[in-house]
Amino acid sequence: EDQVTQSPEALRLQEGESSSLNCSYTVSGLRGLFWYRQDPGKGPEFLFTLYSAGEEKEKERLKATLTKKESFLHITAPKPEDSATYLCAVQAGGYSSASKIIFGSGTRLSIRP
C-alpha cells in the first residue's frame, strides 16, 4: 500500500537552531515529491517539487533533498516566522492519476524567539 510518513509529529526549536524534518515514503512509481507549508486555518502553500533521487532545491532558509526512500526538509537558522506545519506529498502511479497524490500528516514546527 502506498504510504507517506512524516517525522517528528512536532518539533520545537530555538531561533537559530538548525534541524531537519523527515518524509519517508513507500509508493509504486514515484512521479514527484512535494513540500508544502501550512499556517493555521489556511490552505497549504507550495514550496518545492523534487522528481528524482539526488535532487535538491533551496529557498531562503529551507533546503529539500530526495533519496529513493525519503526526503528531508532542512531548516537553517530558523526564525519565529518559520513556525508552521510542513506537509510532504507524493505523486505516485500514472501522470493522470490524481488519486495517487498522497499527503503525510505533517510536522508542526515551532520556533521560539
Per the CB < 8 A criterion, the answer to whether 47 and 62 are in contact is yes
C-alpha cell at 62: 529551507
| Binds another protein by CB under 8 A, chosen from 21, 75, 84, 87 | 87
Question: Mask 44-83, x = binds another protein (CB under 8 A)?
Answer: xxx--x----------------------------------
C-alpha 29/C-alpha 18 separation (Å) is 32
Q: What is the DSSP string of 51-74?
A: -STT-EEEETTEEEEE-SSEEEEE
Binding of residue 41 to another protein (CB under 8 A):
yes
For residues 96 and 38, is the Cβ–Cβ distance under 8 A? no
Size of residue set near another protein by CB under 8 A = 25
Helix (H) or strand (E) holding 109: strand 107-112
Using the minimum distance from each CB to another protein, give the nearer residue, 9 or 79. Answer: 9
Near another protein by CB under 8 A: residue from 1, 14, 28, 43: 43
Compute the least distance from the CB of residue 100 to another protein, in Å: 8
Contact set with another protein (CB under 8 A): 4, 31-32, 34, 36, 41-46, 49, 87, 89, 91, 96-99, 101-106
